[in-house]
Amino acid sequence: MSPFVHRIYIFSLVAIAAAVTVVIGFYGAGYYQTGLHERFFHEQNEWLKPSGLVGHGLGMIGSLMMIVGVFGYMVRKRIRRLSRLGLLKHWLEFHIFLCTLGPILVLYHTTFKLGGLVAVSFWSMVAVVASGVVGRFIYLQIPRTIEGRELSLNELNIKKTTFLLEIQQKFSLHNDLIQLITHAFISEQGLYQGLFFTKVWQRFSFEWQLLGKIKKQLRGHRLSKGEYNGIMKFVKAEIVLTRRIAWLTTMQKYMEHWHVIHLPFALVMLVIMIIHVVVVVLFGYIWIF
């Protein structure tokens, strides 16, 4: 998949999720805003109630999307025979799509009425989605090959050295700018303190300030627009690479701890969801089948 096709792929997934959310919300806005005791008399009640044609269908489709999203990605990740069946990062992106849109459909299925065992499943689902957002951030901070394999620290250092040689050969930059790019992070390492998100904010704040300094120095050189954009592209890549080298060990540890949190919530959600489905079928609510 080329970068252009990949961008279309991501845009399509986001557009589908956003469109479905907006369309259902717009269609059922009047019903969802009606009080619980008055919904029985609403004209859309037979369609949008949890056992209704649309409401029940949303629950089934949303649940199926989550099951496929969770187990499809797990199978692709753990079975080596499937390693050639698409890149792992593309599977992860589709997993995120299914496990984002699925909970939204399930939320519409509940008509925003939560209680009992279903409430436990719902809040477990919320925890899974929230932890998934954090996990996605951590995942992106761990550098990988195009196939999804984690890069070692030695591989990253080699990549950094090659990168610096390339930027020096391709662009005729003054030594003061090269030193600013290569040594700026050395004095910053170890200065970040506090909680995880505080350190992240401090790091990104420093990077923004560094980019401002580099842009200021570049304006003092006679560069064409193409040269300026090319240098900034290299500089931003260098900043990201340096950050990932500095955070490699920390992010790997966070990812290990994250699995301990994310997986149990997912299992609780799935177990209760299965119990809910079995009970519903036993009571005769089998949708259109």
Model confidence at 156, pLDDT cuts 50, 70, 90, reads: low
DSSP 80-138: GGGTTSS-HHHHHHHHHHHHHHHHHHHHHHTTT---HHHHHHHHHHHHHHHHHHHHHHH
Who wins on pLDDT, 79 or 197?
79
Q: Taking all residues of the chain, what is their mean pLDDT, rounded to a whole number?
A: 77
- What DSSP state is assigned to residue 150? B
pLDDT greater than 90 at residue 91: no
Question: Can you give the pLDDT at residue 164?
Answer: 66
Mean pLDDT of 7-30: 92
* Per-residue model confidence as pLDDT tens digits over 108-135: 988 888 777 777 777 887 888 887 777 7
The vertex-273 CA angle with 110 and 112, nearest 5°, equals 15
- In terms of DSSP H, where are the helices of 28-87? 29-32, 45-48, 53-78
Two tokens at 7? 């961008």
Domain residue ranges in the chain: 1-113, 153-252
Mean pLDDT of 155-184: 66
**C-alpha to C-alpha distances, 5 to 11, 12, 30, 49, 109, nearest whole angstrom:** 10, 10, 39, 39, 33
Question: Is the pTM here over 0.75, yes or no?
Answer: no
